[in-house]
Structure 1
Amino acid sequence: METIEILYIIFSATLSISGLILVGISLRAYKRTYRTDMILLSLGFALIVSAAIGTTISAFLSNFAHPQLLLTINYFITTIGFLLLITSLIIK
Structure 2
Amino acid sequence: MIDAGYLLLTGILITIGIYVAGIALRAYFRTSRQEMLYISAGFGLIVFGAFVATVGTFQGLDRPQTALSVQFLPMTAGMLFILYSIHPE
Name the TM-score, length of structure 2 as normaliser: 0.93
1:20: which partner in 2? 18
Confirm or deny: 8 A CA contact 1:16 1:52 kept in the other structure: yes
Gaps in structure 1 of 5+ consecutive residues: none
CA-based RMSD: 1.2
Q: Name the counterpart of 1:58.
A: 56
Aligned to 1:85: 82
Encode CA deviations 1:32-88: one digit per residue, 9 max, x unaligned.
011111110000000000111121112112x25312211111012101100100000
Q: Give identity over the alignment, percent.
A: 34
Structure 1 runs (4+) greater than 2 angstroms displaced = none
